[in-house]
Structure 1
Amino acid sequence: MTDVTDPVPNPHATAEQVQAAFGDPKLANVLYHDWEAGTYDEKWSISYDERCITYATDVFTAVAGEQDQPYPTAMELGSGTGFFLLNLMQGGLIKRGSVTDLSPGMVQVALRNAEKLGLDVDGRVADAERIPYPDNSFDLVIGHAVLHHIPDVRAALREVLRVLKPGGRFVFCGEPTKIGDTYARKLGQLTWWLTTKVTRLPALSAWRRPQEELDESSRAAALEAVVDLHTFDPADLERTALGAGAIDVRAVTEEFAAALAGWPIRTFEAAVPQEKLTLRWRLFAYKLWLQLSALDKKLLSKVVPRQLFYNVMITGVKPPAATEL
């Protein structure tokens, strides 16, 4: 249940609000994610079944290990629709959860997803730099693709450590590296340009989304560029976490070959009518991603420098003795 004082979603921002958001990253995050909340799971192929349960538990344990499971209480920072928390709960890693996000629309969808799954979850609209929970509230704080949206990452990590119990752990996954973000964006832009140009041909017109939908996607992409504030070097991110007061800090990277294929595939899927993406296509894309992810883990992670991978994951622990941060 959301707090009664939380603001309501605004999925239909005015032109004036959108214009104002270009100079206000937090407003941009609210408008963009309220806009995307209703279709976010579909856009990013998010599910709450074995496929995403396995993914979430695998990336979590890859950086955090298997100790201390299950965690009695956990909060997801910048939860979006609840993908990370809800799938980790289903995977048995977390007993009771809280979702927080700057976007009221995302909190609303996350709580709706939790209710459908029968999970014990509460939610709050929250600024990551001022988390509305008391000190020492949680055994675990998690996030997936959230740190790069936060203006002051060190301040947010200090808040994370404040709400963690002494000895509690944080785990953040799915953050873009500096180099990985560069090639992913270039691949996405090229794929979008090619797909929207080629589908103008009469023979391929059935593969073209209506122009108003393409225009709306382009406007959303322009706002997305405002909400994506950071990319990370793994070593720099480790230093930021240590500077915030964490101990036992470790960063791990993932997805190199998987990202080189995955970004063009995801962009193509966003550029064509959804009914064209058959089950056969979706299985092909998923199996290819699995194969390339296995290649990344078994071979490329041993020979390719970690800063070249697309995603960085980081974990750390609040010092066992309670301290003022």
Structure 2
Amino acid sequence: MTTNATQGPDPEPNPHATEAEVEAALSDTKLAQVLYHDWEAETYDDKWSISYDERCIDYARGRFDAVAADQPLPYERAMELGCGTGFFLLNLMQSGIAKKGSVTDLSPGMVRVALRNAENLGLDVDGRVADAEKIPYEDNTFDLVVGHAVLHHIPDVEQALREVLRVLKPGGRFVFAGEPSTIGDFYARWISRATWAATTTVTKFGPLQSWRRPQEELDESSRAAALEAVVDIHTFDPDELAGIARRAGALQVDTATEELSAAMLGWPVRTFEAAVPAGKLGWGWAMFAFNGWKRLNWLDENVLRRVVPPKFFYNVVVTGTKP
């Protein structure tokens, strides 16, 4: 079945959801996706320490190569599903994965930021606001579809993968990375909650008050966190995710997992960064966080992977091809 690429103008971002909108979104996951990601769009790169330099280019390429190394490159045209600010596709394009790109997201705010980032980088990228379960592109359009931390937001993952396969050309490949494993998500959330509670409590007192964000910002973060609980729908066992991809019609399906000790550092670091005022943590902190992650990631890949079952690692990567 062919889907026509024509649709009306993309909606405008809504970066400041009201309490009434948030309340409505608690029972409407797609509305929650839009509100939450519009809310986060302009600060998302800073929140997650996303950049478009060698550090994140190497990271994105490493996620791709975990399941799709030694592919003929570059792909002619690639699409990112649930692009966010464009982190995965734009860094992959900079590494030579694809010549031309398209970014899609349910959030107008995220598409706007991703296109701005692409323009700043001089990359050939277009974009549309799109529902992953009904992608607004013709059959057989793309050579590659990628995504990072997107499948766990989609209500019907199998339907989304069917759509991915529809818009891929025959023999085209998809690569989705950064999906939370069921076990990994459990320990990451507990670590994050504990870090947030500890930081927001101790910064109430004495000289540490200068490290406390204004209460209205903390309240806004709490409302965003309430939405986050709605937008994070799934976690994945690697074998179960592979099964979903096969049922959608994919061939050559493979999965990989990554980050165990690195995730146990990364989640409290990111939560602490979100809980303190912007500007309090300088370049020294950033280098500590990045170098610490690199060392622990080396430990995960070279030691823990040999003795710990894959399902205990935090991130799942999945790939497959269109017949």
Measured against the shorter chain, the TM-score band is: over 0.9
Does residue 124 in structure 1 map to residue 128 in structure 2? yes
State the 1:13 CA deviation: 1.7
Alignment of 1:184-195 (within 5 A): 184-195=188-199
> TM-score with structure 2 length normalisation?
0.97
Alignment of 1:1-325 (within 5 A): 5-319=9-323
* Unaligned segments of structure 2, at least 5 residues: 1-5
Q: Which runs of 4+ in 1 moved over 3 A?
A: none
Contact residue 22 and residue 223 of structure 2 kept, 8 A: no
One-letter code of the match for 1:81?
Answer: T
Match of 1:322 in 2: none
- 1:293-321, Cα deviation, whole Å (9 max, x unpaired): 111111111211000000000000001xx
State the 1:65 CA deviation: 1.2
Match of 2:279, SS state, is helix
Over the matched positions of the two proteins, sequence identity in percent amounts to: 69
Match of 1:276, SS state, is coil
CA distance in 2 between counterparts of 1:89 and 1:83 reads: 10
State the 1:3 CA deviation: 7.2
Contact residue 247 and residue 317 of structure 1 kept, 8 A: yes
Match of 2:79, SS state, is strand
Contact residue 3 and residue 124 of structure 1 kept, 8 A: no
State the 1:15 CA deviation: 2.1
How much is the aligned-residue C-alpha RMSD, in angstroms? 1.1
CA distance in 2 between counterparts of 1:162 and 1:89 reads: 22
Contact residue 3 and residue 123 of structure 1 kept, 8 A: no
CA distance in 2 between counterparts of 1:203 and 1:6 reads: 47
CA distance in 2 between counterparts of 1:142 and 1:3 reads: 22
Contact residue 42 and residue 113 of structure 2 kept, 8 A: yes
- 1:119-177, Cα deviation, whole Å (9 max, x unpaired): 00000000000000000000000000000000000000000000000000000000000
- 1:230-264, Cα deviation, whole Å (9 max, x unpaired): 00000000000000000100110000000011111
- 1:65-98, Cα deviation, whole Å (9 max, x unpaired): 1212111110000000000000001111111000
Match of 2:236, SS state, is coil
Match of 1:275, SS state, is coil
Contact residue 7 and residue 136 of structure 2 kept, 8 A: no
Contact residue 238 and residue 311 of structure 2 kept, 8 A: yes
Match of 1:159, SS state, is helix
